[in-house]
């Protein structure tokens, strides 16, 4: 994954560094968790998956063997989402523990000069995080196997479709016209995807600029601060401490913007954030256009499928292809979640090894204690946001598990033509209401 400067801040690991040297270290690393809300990107894919299964189920109602295969895959997905729901609730609990237990303990340890007290809670927090990492790894493996099973089912349906079409080769003019529309939409979709990739490269360049800026702020060496008017060693240390505790660069940039800076530095923050915001907004608009084209494509594919069903042909399996894409997207975000918690665990290890390795921590932090305490207070906001985001994602998966797969209780072949049409229109309307998660990239108020 390419370097993204609006990403998590990490620490050098050499144990010979003093606290002050450590606070001067360049802290920017690469991942996709610039905002606490990154986990909510799960939601559109989770919602879309059940609806796509529903459409596929309706289209296969007259093919009992394929209907049974699809039912099995849908039930497996439902169970997997149940495990995802439990994992996200665990993330909620761990975030709350960090806010209510770890951060207050670090604060007390600094106020009362008791590093051993903080060490106890750091070890406990590391245990929470290791447990989540293990769970995420296991679920990622299950998503990988399940997606492979869905692909096998898709292949089985394609084989059945080819055999059916040998028996029924007649194509109506209406089908041919719909196929032309579908081909045109697929071509447009490819062009939009290329534009989105181009913007991703531009965003990476802007991220590199932000990378350098944050590094210059957190580097408090005398020669550096001389070149950076308005940035004092204390300010750089405060930003570094905050960056260690809150692994979201969006939060770090917001923290920097609230501190007293020279006019030139305030202008730099505004310029960087505005530039990134402009690029991400443009990219988001492209993603929304892509989403609209996908919906148009789906609508025409459904119309073609309906005509083929009425003509005795087996429709295509494009909806199952989309299910695979949604499952893959969920899997990738869970991998991000795994890396995120691994990074947090690494931060805690560094904090434990370097800052609480004896009384030297207290001696060296004495002149930075006020900044340290302020950073802990500010850190609670970022972790609270992350916990709330996990809670929202958990609620969506809960709905998916308990409500979204009830369509499996009805045999689609038992529906009348009017009932089938009503069901089809209802699912299509729900799909069109789902939008890609916009998040809040670089939305920093100055």
Q: Is residue 175 pLDDT above 60, yes or no?
A: yes
Tell me the per-residue pLDDT of 374-389, one tens digit each, with 9 for 90 and over.
777 777 888 888 888 8
Flag the least confident range among 119-128, 241-250, 329-338: 241-250
- Burial of 416: CB neighbours in 10 Å, binned 0-12, 13-18, 19+: exposed
Q: Can you tell me the mean pLDDT for 37-50?
A: 83
pLDDT at 440 over 60: no
Contact 56, 70 (CB under 8 A): yes
Average confidence (pLDDT) over 137-156 = 86
What per-residue confidence (pLDDT) applies to 29?
39
Contacts 24+ apart (CB under 8 A), 114-122: 115/355, 115/356, 115/358, 115/359, 115/361, 115/362, 116/356, 118/356, 119/352, 119/356, 122/348, 122/351, 122/352, 122/356
Q: pLDDT confidence of 195, banded at 50, 70, 90?
A: very high
Instruction: Give the chain's radius of gyration (CA, Å).
Output: 26
Query: Which residues have a Cβ under 8 Å from the Cβ of 323 and sit 6 or more positions away?
Result: 49, 52, 53, 56, 77, 150
pLDDT score of 24: 37
> Are residues 418 and 228 in contact, defined by beta-carbon separation less than 8 angstroms?
no
Q: Is the pLDDT of residue 109 over 70?
A: yes
Contact predicate 60/102, CB 8 Å: no
- Of residues 30 and 284, more confidence is placed in 284
pTM for the model: 0.61
Q: How would residue 221 be classed by pLDDT, with cut points 50, 70 and 90?
A: very low
Residue 27 confidence (pLDDT) above 70: no
Percentage of the residues of the chain whose pLDDT score is greater than 70: 74
Residue 11 has pLDDT above 60, yes or no: no
Highest mean pLDDT (candidates 150-164, 188-202, 362-376)? 188-202
Residue 444: pLDDT above 70?
no
The pLDDT of residue 25 is above 50: no
Quote the pLDDT of residue 442. Answer: 36
**The pLDDT of residue 233:** 62
State residue 28's pLDDT score. 35
Closest by Cα among 224, 250, 232 to 28: 250
Q: Please report the pLDDT score of residue 333 as a whole number.
A: 82
What confidence score (pLDDT) does residue 191 get?
92
Mean pLDDT calculated for residue range 320-340? 81
Buried b / exposed e over 163-183, threshold 16 CB at 10 Å, is eeeeeeeeeeeebeebeebbe
How does DSSP assign 108-168, residue by residue?
Answer: HHHHHT-HHHHHHHHHHHHHHHHHHHHHHHHHHHHHHHHHHHHHHHHHHHHHHHHHHHHH-
> Would you say residue 3 has pLDDT above 50?
no
Question: Higher confidence at residue 171 or residue 268?
Answer: 268
Average pLDDT, whole number, for the chain? 75
Give the pLDDT confidence score for residue 209 in this predicted structure: 83
DSSP state of 28: B
**Cβ atoms of 109 and 310 closer than 8 Å:** no
Range among 144-158, 223-237, 387-401 rated most confident: 387-401
What is the average pLDDT across 319-331?
79
pLDDT digits (tens, 9 = 90+) for 118-134: 778 888 888 888 898 99
């Amino acid at each position: 994954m390419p370097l993204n400067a609006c990403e998590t801040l990490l620490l050098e690991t050499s144990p010979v560094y003093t606290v002050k040297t450590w606070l001067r270290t360049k802290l920017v690393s690469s991942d996709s968790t610039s905002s606490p809300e990154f986990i909510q990107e799960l939601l559109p894919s989770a919602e879309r998956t059940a609806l796509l299964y529903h459409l596929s189920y309706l289209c296969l109602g007259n093919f009992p063997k394929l209907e049974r295969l699809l039912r099995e895959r849908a039930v497996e997905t439902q169970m997997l989402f149940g495990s995802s729901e439990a994992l996200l609730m665990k993330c909620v609990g761990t975030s709350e523990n960090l806010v209510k237990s770890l951060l207050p303990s670090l604060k007390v340890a600094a106020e009362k000069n008791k590093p051993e007290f903080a060490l106890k809670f750091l070890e406990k927090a590391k245990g929470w995080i290791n447990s989540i990492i293990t769970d995420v790894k296991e679920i990622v493996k299950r998503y990988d196997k399940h997606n492979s099973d869905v692909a096998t089912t898709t292949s089985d349906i394609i084989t059945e479709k080819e055999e059916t079409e040998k028996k029924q080769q007649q194509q109506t003019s209406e089908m041919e016209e719909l196929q032309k529309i579908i081909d045109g939409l697929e071509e447009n979709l490819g062009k939009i995807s290329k534009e989105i990739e181009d913007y991703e490269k531009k965003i990476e360049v802007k991220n590199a600029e932000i990378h350098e800026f944050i590094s210059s702020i957190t580097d408090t060496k005398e020669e550096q601060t001389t070149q950076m008017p308005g940035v004092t060693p204390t300010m750089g240390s405060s930003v570094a401490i905050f960056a260690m505790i809150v692994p979201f660069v969006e939060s770090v940039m917001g923290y920097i913007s609230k501190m007293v800076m020279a006019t030139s530095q305030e202008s730099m923050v505004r310029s960087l954030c505005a530039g990134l915001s402009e690029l991400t907004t443009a990219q988001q608009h492209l993603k929304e256009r892509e989403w609209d084209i996908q919906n148009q494509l789906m609508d025409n594919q459904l119309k073609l499928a309906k005509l083929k069903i009425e003509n005795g042909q087996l429709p295509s399996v494009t909806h199952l292809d989309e299910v695979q894409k949604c499952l893959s997207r969920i899997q990738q975000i869970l991998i991000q979640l795994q890396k995120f918690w691994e990074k947090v665990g690494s931060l805690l290890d560094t904090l434990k090894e370097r800052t609480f390795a004896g009384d030297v921590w207290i001696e060296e932090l004495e002149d930075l204690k006020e900044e340290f305490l302020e950073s802990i207070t500010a850190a609670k906001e970022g972790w609270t946001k992350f916990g709330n985001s996990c809670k929202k994602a958990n609620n969506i998966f809960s709905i998916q598990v308990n409500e979204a797969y009830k369509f499996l209780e009805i045999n689609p072949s038992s529906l009348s033509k009017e009932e089938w049409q009503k069901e089809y229109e209802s699912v299509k309307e729900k799909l069109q209401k789902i939008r890609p998660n916009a998040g809040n990239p670089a939305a920093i108020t100055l």
